[in-house]
Amino acid sequence: MASSEGNKLWGGRFVGNTDPIMEKFNASIAYDQRMWEADIKGSKAYVKALQKAGLVTQNEMEQILTGLDKVFDEWSKGEFKIKPGDEDIHTANERRLKEFIGDPAGKLHTGRSRNDQVATDMRLWLRDTINTLKELALQLIKYSLCSHDLTNGPANQMESLDSQVHFSRILGAIAGNPFDIDRELLRQAEFLFWASMCLTHLSKMAEDLILYSTKEFSFITLTDAYSTGSSLMPQKKNADSLELIRSKAGRVFGRCAGFLMTLKGLPSTYNKDLQEDKEAMFDTYDTVHAVLQVATGVISTLMVNQPAMERALSPDMLATDLAYLLVRKGMPFREAHSCAGKAVYIAESKNIHLSQITVEDLQTVSPLFDKDVSSVWDYNRSVEQYSAPGGTARSSVTAQIEHFRTWLQAQKQKP
């Protein structure tokens, strides 16, 4: 039987055919084919470096570039035919290039290994896809700039993502051989970490919004576009968009943990185990890509029920403010905290709201209490006292919003 190993990028030393089960087990074309564009871009840049180094002639370089353009055209039109021997995207593209231009295609692999191609393709792919996620995240932030909670959640992840874009550009440069595989693994791991942190914030936000959308709270209402119904109960309106955002976080966490488990026992340089990284990367990208779009849709269309939120306010929430009143009169906070707790106990004992305690009763707790205690029972005043950066005061939230608006404008002007 004729050997098929010579058709592979690593053939020549092997005799006979690979076991069909092993062939399928070893292949990655089923999922790494989505890097076809990055692979062709990397090869086009590489052949120019080969020509500059005198390893291919000007004519050979032009043939290879023309052939790669034809391969690109087939992929872009959905006409590229994957064949049984195409182990991965690199093998497939080089095989097709040889069908177009013949022997000069064999010179494209001069001085590089398939590991180099994997590293380069992943860098180029990450550079482009991170930019896509950045644009989607910017849209989410645009619609999220409405509260203290949201400005301190998903928005803060963007600075981390921005550094990922910059670092990917650096790593994407073809600077010679051999490629530093450890840096590439760091880049992939950091992307998975970023995705995990991003979905941590979005999952927490989703959990809050799910709770606020229940009948018991009724603080917000989701539009029908981001809700589903029940097959049993006609009256139900399910917040499936938010529940799925919450669930997708676990999916991404699992991908990150799985990749770290693959890395933990590996020696230095590239090992075949790392073929598993691509599925993790692709699935994470697809998941975050979808989550960001749905989250933006939910945030930009939900309706806030302000009267219901105001009805949920309770004087008990202002117990800390009661302690702060004493602190402003010179009492140490620990003692003031204890006095406020005693006041809460009195209110509970008399089955009244905290704000209904008389000054006389409060003075049994501390003589520092006076008629000015009435100023404590003002929810707006309570919120406004937290005016430090990152606080809940209107001035602080407005400052945070303006900061992000300025930052967003700067992002639009970046190349």
How many helices (H) and strands (E) would you count in the chain? 17, 2
Quick check: bond before 178 cis, omega within 30?
Answer: yes
Q: Where are the domains of the chain?
A: 5-109, 114-311, 315-384
- Six token digits for residue 349: 């004992």
- CATH homologous superfamily for the domain 5-109: Fumarase/aspartase (N-terminal domain) (1.10.275.10)
CB-side neighbour CA atoms (13 Å) of 127: 20
**Nearest Cα residue to 136 out of 298, 296, 302:** 296
- CA–CA separation, 378 and 380 (whole Å): 6
Q: pLDDT above 70 covers what percent of the chain? A: 84
Residue 204 pLDDT exceeds 80? yes
Helices (H), 54-180: 58-77, 89-101, 114-144, 148-151, 158-172
With a cut of 50, say whether residue 33 has pLDDT above it.
Answer: yes
Per-residue pLDDT, 11: 54
Q: What is the C-alpha separation between 41 and 34, in angstroms, rounded? A: 13
pLDDT band at 5 (very low <50, low <70, confident <90, very high): very low
| DSSP for residue 304 | E
Query: In angstroms, what CA-CA distances link 356 with 70, 336, 366, 381, 412?
Result: 81, 19, 17, 18, 53
φ/ψ (deg, to 5) at 304: -95, 130
Q: What is the pTM of this model?
A: 0.81
Q: Give the position of tokens 């992939």.
A: 188
| pLDDT more than 90, % of the chain | 56
Residues with Cβ < 8 Å from 15, sequence gap 6 or more? 3, 5
The Cα–Cα gap between 352 and 223 comes to 39
In this structure, whether the domain defined by 315-384 belongs to CATH 1.10.40.30 is answered with yes
pLDDT at 170: 40
E-assigned strand segments in 162-313: 220-221, 303-304
pLDDT-derived band at 169 (thresholds 50, 70, 90) equals very low
Q: Indicate the CATH number of 114-311 among 1.10.760.10, 2.60.40.10, 1.20.200.10, 3.40.50.1950.
A: 1.20.200.10
In this prediction, residues 99-109 reach a mean pLDDT of 94
Cα–Cα distance measured from residue 324 to residue 340, given in angstroms and rounded to the nearest whole number: 9
B/e letters for 210-233, b = 16+ CB within 10 Å, e = fewer, are: bebbeeeeebbbbeeebbeeeeee
Better pLDDT: 400 or 344:
344
DSSP H or E segment with residue 415: none
**Phi-psi group of 228: left, alpha or beta (phi > 0 → left; psi -120 to 50 → alpha; rest → beta):** beta
Determine the pLDDT at residue 160.
Answer: 62
> Is the pLDDT confidence value at 1 over 50?
no
Q: How confident is the model at residue 211 (pLDDT cuts 50, 70, 90)?
A: very high
| pLDDT greater than 90 at residue 331 | yes
**Cα separation of 204 and 34, whole Å?**
32
Instruction: Produce one character per residue of 167-193: b if its CB has 16 or more CB atoms within 10 Å, e if not.
Output: bbeebbebeeeebebeebbebbbbbbe
Q: What is the pLDDT of residue 16?
A: 57
Single-letter amino acid, residue 23: E
Q: 386 with 392: CB under 8 angstroms? A: yes
Q: Which two tokens stand for residue 372?
A: 């000015």
Residue 162 has pLDDT above 70, yes or no: no
